[in-house]
């Protein structure tokens, strides 16, 4: 390999290392305090172990020589919480609750749980209570989740929780606090003032918001903007007839009531499928019982067609009647012509001035009532009727 190749390879490796460190720093996992109570810290990490003396992150002496973590003084049985999301990679359970300084049980850590986090860092929780562990190897845990209870197992002089932290599997333990007398970046979301316990705030790593009473997307709001469709009616009725889905909204980690939904109700005569069974007005309207919208429309179209056909039939009948009427008119005209041939001869003896004188009487008798125009008309009509009858018989072959 040439010098130039070696130089290029070295430069590439250095650049990659810088990028890796930068990426790790940006994605560093930070922790909340690993218990509910907030006691003062008994002993901090020793940042000057090689000198044979103790120096904490604040350049004070709140530590002891060679201490590799942070000791929180809490009573036996206090719940121990995961400081950040992670995966359980090691546990130990079997040490007595009360140990002593130098006790080798559990590698001097007694009963413990060790977690690995998404940035490769690791955290360990020591001196826990026998049989109190609530997690197992390979289990995924969330920040603030109970993983066990505290005690004084292993190398311990009294009840407390030892929290240890390192940047990677191969790195040495580091101070979980940052300060002027340590090179560690610190592991806490908010470490608070010296010598207080860190804050109980979990680190927010942006992710999709879910209904869990957490600020998953790290925008300062919990369960914000979460809603979904809902329906509590019978299966298969949503979206059918009058039935409609509603909306439920998340608040404080719980889904609220289904608002705005329309559920099946008793059928009424309103041309709507109120009970959402696919039938319209069944049992509610006498004429439309059990009829679907499609069936109703088909029936309406059929009635309209029948009405059109009836109108056409009536039109034909009218034309036929009109034709027969015209024929009758023609017959009447012929009869009128026959009437025109009739001549009525008046009786020569009939006179309005005629006076009947009884035989042997020389006096004038009262005049008889004069037959008026109505009498003459009756006579004319009688004669015409007789003539028409005669002609009819003749046409039929009868005798006159």
CATH number of domain containing 133? 2.70.70.10
Report if residue 39 sits inside a domain.
yes
278 backbone dihedrals φ, ψ, rounded to 5°: 90, -5
Q: 309 falls in which pLDDT band (50, 70, 90)?
A: low
| Max Cα distance, the chain (Å) | 195
Q: 392 falls in which pLDDT band (50, 70, 90)?
A: low
Report if residue 361 sits inside a domain.
no
Contacts of 65 (CB under 8 A, 6+ apart): 46, 49, 52, 53, 54
Nearest CA-CA partner of 161 in 28, 36, 30, 31: 36
Of the listed ranges 20-34, 44-58, 157-171, the one predicted with least confidence? 20-34
Would you say residue 344 has pLDDT above 90?
no
Q: 215 falls in which pLDDT band (50, 70, 90)?
A: confident
Same domain, 82 and 154: yes
pLDDT of residue 117: 97
Tokens describing residue 329: 């008119």
Domain that holds residue 300: 265-307
Q: Taking the alpha carbons of 223, 228, 230, 236 in that order, is the dihedral positive or negative?
A: negative
pLDDT digits (tens, 9 = 90+) for 58-94: 999 999 999 999 999 999 999 999 999 999 999 999 9
pLDDT above 90: percentage of residues in the chain:
59
Report if residue 87 sits inside a domain.
yes
Torsion of CA 185, 190, 193, 196, to 10 degrees: -100
User: How far is residue 400's CA from residue 389's CA, in Å, rounded to a whole number?
Assistant: 9
Report if residue 338 sits inside a domain.
no
Report if residue 251 sits inside a domain.
yes
HEC states along the chain? CCHHHHHHHHHHHHHHHHHHHHHHHHCCCCECCCECCCCCEEEECCCCHHHCCCCCCCCCCCECCCCCCEEECCCCCCEEECCCCEEEEEEECCCCCECCCCCCCCCCCCEEEEEECCCCCEEEEEEECCCCCCCCCCCEECCCCEEEEEEECCCCCCCEEEEEEECCCCCCCECCCCCCCCCCCCCECCCCCCCCCCCCCCCCCCCCCCCCCCCCCCCCCCCCCCEEEECCCCCCCCCCCCCECEEEEEECCEECCCECCECCCCCCCCCCCCCCCCCECCCCCCCCCCECHHHHHHHHHHHHHHHHHHHHHHHHHHHHHHHHHHHHHHHHHHHHHHHHHCCCCCCCCCCCCCCCCCCCCCCCCCCCCCCCHHHHHHHHHHHHHHHHHHHHHHHHCCCC
Same domain, 87 and 134: yes
Tokens describing residue 260: 């705005």
Report if residue 384 sits inside a domain.
no
Would you say residue 99 has pLDDT above 90?
yes
Same domain, 259 and 247: yes
Would you say residue 356 has pLDDT above 80?
no
Q: 278 falls in which pLDDT band (50, 70, 90)?
A: very high
pLDDT of residue 235: 96
Same domain, 238 and 174: no
Nearest CA-CA partner of 129 in 97, 163, 164, 106: 97
Same domain, 234 and 259: yes
Length, in residues, of the chain: 400
Contacts of 91 (CB under 8 A, 6+ apart): 112, 113, 114, 133, 135, 136, 137
Of the listed ranges 160-169, 278-287, 354-363, the one predicted with least confidence? 354-363
Residue 160, strand partner residues: 151
Q: 355 falls in which pLDDT band (50, 70, 90)?
A: very low
Chain-centre distance of CA 44, in angstroms? 54
pLDDT above 70: percentage of residues in the chain:
66
Same domain, 157 and 197: yes
Would you say residue 160 has pLDDT above 90?
yes
Same domain, 149 and 241: no
Same domain, 115 and 132: yes
Would you say residue 214 has pLDDT above 70?
yes
pLDDT of residue 218: 87
Would you say residue 104 has pLDDT above 90?
yes
Residue indicated by tokens 């992150």:
57
Domains in the chain, number? 3
Same domain, 212 and 199: no
Same domain, 104 and 236: no
188 backbone dihedrals φ, ψ, rounded to 5°: -95, 150
Q: Which of 204, 221, 242 is the last residue of a domain?
A: 204
Report if residue 395 sits inside a domain.
no
Same domain, 129 and 253: no
Same domain, 257 and 274: no
Q: Which of 162, 187, 204 is the last residue of a domain?
A: 204
Torsion of CA 94, 97, 100, 104, to 10 degrees: 10
Nearest CA-CA partner of 262 in 246, 249, 277, 278: 246
Report if residue 301 sits inside a domain.
yes
Q: What is the average pLDDT across 38-50?
A: 93
Q: Which of 273, 307, 341 is the last residue of a domain?
A: 307
Torsion of CA 254, 251, 79, 35, to 10 degrees: 160
User: How far is residue 16's CA from residue 357's CA, in Å, rounded to a whole number?
Assistant: 165
Query: Is the previous residue joined to 195 through a cis bond, with omega within 30 degrees of 0?
Result: yes
């Amino acid at each position: 390999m040439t010098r130039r190749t070696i130089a290029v390879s070295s430069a590439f490796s250095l650049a990659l290392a810088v990028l890796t460190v930068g990426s790790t720093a940006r994605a560093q996992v930070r922790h909340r305090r690993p218990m509910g109570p907030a006691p003062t810290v008994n002993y901090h990490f020793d940042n000057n172990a090689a000198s044979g003396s103790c120096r904490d992150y604040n350049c004070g002496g709140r530590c002891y020589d060679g201490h590799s973590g942070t000791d929180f003084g809490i009573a036996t049985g206090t719940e121990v919480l995961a400081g950040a999301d992670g995966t359980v990679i090691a546990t130990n359970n079997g040490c007595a609750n009360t140990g002593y300084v130098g006790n080798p049980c559990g590698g001097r850590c007694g009963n413990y749980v060790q977690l690995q986090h998404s940035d490769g860092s690791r955290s360990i929780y020591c001196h826990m209570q026998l049989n109190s562990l609530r997690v197992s190897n390979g289990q995924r845990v969330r920040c603030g989740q109970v993983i066990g209870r505290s005690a004084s197992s292993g190398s311990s002089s009294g009840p407390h929780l030892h929290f240890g932290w390192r940047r990677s599997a191969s790195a040495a333990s580091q101070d979980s606090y940052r300060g002027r007398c340590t090179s560690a970046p610190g592991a806490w979301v908010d470490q608070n003032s010296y010598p207080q316990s860190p804050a109980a705030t979990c680190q927010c790593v942006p992710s999709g918001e879910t209904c869990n009473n957490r600020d998953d997307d790290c925008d300062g709001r919990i369960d914000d903007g979460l809603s979904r469709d809902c329906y509590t009616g019978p299966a298969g009725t949503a979206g059918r007839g009058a039935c409609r889905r509603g909306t439920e909204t998340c608040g404080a980690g719980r889904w609220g009531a289904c608002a705005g939904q329309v559920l099946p109700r008793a059928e009424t005569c309103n041309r709507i499928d109120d009970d959402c069974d696919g039938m319209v007005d069944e049992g509610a309207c006498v004429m439309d019982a059990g009829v679907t919208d499609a069936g109703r429309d088909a029936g309406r179209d059929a009635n309209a067609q029948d009405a059109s056909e009836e109108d056409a039939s009536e039109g034909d009948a009218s034309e036929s009647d009109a034709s027969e009427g015209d024929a009758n008119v023609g017959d009447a005209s012929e009869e009128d012509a026959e009437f025109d041939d009739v001549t009525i001869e008046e009786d020569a003896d009939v006179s309005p001035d005629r006076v009947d004188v009884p035989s042997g009487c020389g006096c004038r008798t009262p005049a008889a009532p004069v037959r008026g125009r109505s009498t003459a008309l009756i006579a004319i009509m009688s004669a015409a009727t007789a003539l028409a009858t005669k002609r009819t018989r003749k046409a039929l072959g009868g005798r006159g």
